[in-house]
Amino acid sequence: MIKKIDNLYAQATDKQSFSFDGQVAQVFPDMIQRSVPGYNQILQNTAKFAEHFVTDNSNCYDLGCSLGASSLAMSSGITASNVKIIGVDNSAAMLERCHHHIDAFKHSTTIELYEGDIVDFPIENATMVVLNFTLQFIAQPQRKALLENIYKGMKPGGVLLLSEKICFDSALDNQLMIDLHHQFKRENGYSELEISQKRSMLENVLVPETLDDHLTRLKSIGFSRYQCWLQQYNFISMYAVK
């Protein structure tokens, strides 16, 4: 599959805010790899978490699946039998491409895709749930209810893999991490205009929280163990075990 280069914001645009539309879906694999530090490492380790936690006769969920990268990563790690992976996204453009993407890659686990809102999607019999850079796009007042719904649908011993962009209480730390992230984007070929246009378009669309906000909420929901297992600047990945 040919990877299209993300140059969506290379020219001045009057588009006000970011959305997962057809244009974004076309360039998404390039966009996320050049914009999110640690993304590839998270996918590689998603397979390892799947090998460790997924048990026979259970379901796995990829919530906000985009083009299905996390579903394919889970599938490559699963050794249990009779497992189904369910991918959900509310962007029709993403899901259309996701179908092609999933078909183009070899995978041994059944993957079903649904167009829908993850906020009220039923979760059942789950041994693994992935929220890979998706919770940050959900309205803040809805985040706890979404995580509670996931927790309710998980089997004891199952794992939630939650990756997010975060912010920091200290303004100095916050600015440092933003600067380091922008340097990462420059090194990946994005111009100052691309970086600043994307930043203002994501304002109020991607709302980050602190690591402490995340861990406190996971604890209050009832997860028995939770850790941040990866951090690169202001991008982290956590696991939480029911």
Ligand X SMILES: C[S@@+](CC[C@H](N)C(=O)[O-])C[C@H]1O[C@@H](n2cnc3c(N)ncnc32)[C@H](O)[C@@H]1O
Which residues of this chain interact with ligand X, rule CB under 6 A? 20, 32, 64-66, 69-70, 88-91, 94, 117-119, 132-134, 137-138
Q: Which is nearer to ligand X, 64 or 158 (CB)?
A: 64
C-beta of 104: minimal distance to ligand X in Å? 15
Residue 171's contacts (CB-CB under 8 Å, 6 or more residues apart) are none
Full strand arrangement of the beta sheet holding 84-89:
110-115, 84-89, 59-63, 126-132, 154-165, 235-241, 225-232
CB of 28 to ligand X, least distance (A): 7
Which of 31, 236, 29 shows the shortest CA–CA distance to 135? 236
What's the closest the beta carbon of residue 170 comes to ligand X, in angstroms? 26
By beta-carbon proximity to ligand X, the closer residue of 19 and 55 is: 19
Nearest to 108 by CA among 79, 65, 67: 79
Nearer of residues 57 and 200 to ligand X, judged by Cβ: 200
By beta-carbon proximity to ligand X, the closer residue of 109 and 132 is 132
Residue nearest to ligand X (CB): 64
- Please name the amino acid found at residue 182: H
DSSP class of 156: E
